[in-house]
Every structure is written in C-alpha cells, then in structure tokens.
Amino acid sequence: MLLGIPFLFQFFDTLELSLSQQFTASDEQFMRRAIELAAQAESEGEVPVGAVLVKDGEIIAEGWNQSIGAHDATAHAEIQALRIAGQSLENYRLLDTTLYVTLEPCPMCAGALLHSRVKRIVFGAPDLKAGAAGTVLNLFEHQAAYHYATIECGLLEEECRSQLQAFFKRRRKEIKALKQEKRDSELK
C-alpha cells in the first residue's frame, strides 16, 4: 500500500532546464487541465500525474494515474489518455495530436506514444529517475525509432513539480508514521 511507493523525485530541486520554445495560451490552458487531472489522481491516492490529448485544438482524451486503484502497472496518465482516444477514434494511430502531461513520460509511456504516432509531447516537470524524453534517456531520438515526435518541456514546470513534491513529502511522512506505529505496536 503506502509502503510500496518510492520517492522518485528527490533531486527535482537541482535540475535546471533551458527552454528555447515559446508556449501559447492554448498550451497553457491544456497543461492547466492536465494539472487538474493530476489533482484527481492524488485525490484517489495515486501519484499526481495528469495527461490531456489534443487534436485540432480540442481535447479528445484525458487521463490520470490509476495504477494503484486499478492494480495495473500500465495505468499511467498517458496510457489512459491513449486508450480513450484510440477507442474514440477507432484507431490506435493518433496522428497530428499533442499530448500535454505534467511529468515527463517514462520508458513505457514513451514507447506507447511512439507507437501511437503522437506528433508532439509537452511535459511540465522532468523525471530525474525514469524520464524517457530527454532527462535520463530519449527514446524519441533513438536511431531505431520508427516515428519522431516533437518534445517540449518546462510548461508550467514549477506548478507540476510542486504538485509532485508536495505529494511525495506527504507520502514520506505517512510512511514514516506507519513504520513508527508498527514499531510501537511491536514493543507492546
């Protein structure tokens, strides 16, 4: 349960990304929706990550982490959004779409994004442990990649990072209290 969730983002404060891209008001609007979805994940006891998939300026799918509640390691926010969009469009190829996600995709999600042909991925906070869009590794630029996507990072980064940091700080405190409670009960 709570004890199984490691703290993955302990070095967030040390990373400085240089950003050359300019984000639009629409980009910010879609990322703000992803942040709202991340809060939904957190309210369900999940790691707060949210994703919004957009085509032609319209949201076609949304997702948030549901791995814990669904007992499904693949139920990441990105995967949830891809599944919904694929069903809605009756096609796994999600051409000319943009995914907004609060945390840099992991290798599993990066692979799914490549396979689904998402054109552009915009993420808020980097993932220093498992980021597969440039922070730890970059599957999108791998020589064997059969599809290429534009990767843009840092949109509302501080808000995305703060949301994750607050969650893990609280989670560590809860885990510490549970461990102390267990030790105390063993002494009785």
In angstroms, the CA 91 to CA 37 distance is 24
On whether 153 is known to bind a ligand per the annotation, the reply is no
Answer yes or no: 78 catalytic: yes
**Residue tagged active-site, from 42, 46, 62, 78:** 78
The answer to whether the annotation marks 109 as part of a ligand binding site is yes
Q: Indicate the pairing of strand 150-153 with strand 58-64.
A: unpaired
Question: Three-class SS string for the chain?
Answer: CHHHCCCCCCCHHHCCCCCCCCCCHHHHHHHHHHHHHHHHHHHCCCCCCEEEEEECCEEEEEEECCHHHHCCCCCCHHHHHHHHHHHHHCCCCCCCEEEEEEECCCHHHHHHHHHCCCCEEEEEECCCCCCCECCCCEHHHCCCCCCCCEEEECCCHHHHHHHHHHHHHHHHHHHHHHHHHHHHHHHC
Is position 142 annotated in a ligand binding site?
Answer: no
Active site (catalytic) residues: 78
Q: Which residues are part of a known binding site for Zn(2+)? A: 76, 106, 109
Binding residue ranges = 76, 106, 109
